[in-house]
Amino acid sequence: MSHVTAVSFAVLSVVLVALLAAATAGKLARLDGAGYPTALWRAAATFAAVLTLAAALTGALTQVLS
């Protein structure tokens, strides 16, 4: 497997996990009685948090492994 393929697969996996987490957070917010704007805000915050966590983990692993 080439490096481009591996990086593309990793990025796609992280985005997919972030989307699933955001959808779950939005659904849980709606089940909790929140309105649509609040549920969308919570989903967006969760999506951003997962991407931020993935970036921080990648940065830490890069420093450790190089």
Domain of residue 20 covers 3-65
* Number of domains comprising the chain: 1
DSSP string, 18-54: HHHHHHHHHHHHHHTT--HHHHHHHHHHHHHHHHHHH
The Cα 61–Cα 66 span in angstroms is: 8
| Residue 36: Cβ-neighbour burial (10 angstroms; 0-12, 13-18, 19+) | exposed
The Cα 55–Cα 52 span in angstroms is: 5
Q: Give the pLDDT score at 48.
A: 98
Q: Give the pLDDT score at 41.
A: 98
Residue ranges for the chain with pLDDT beneath 50:
none
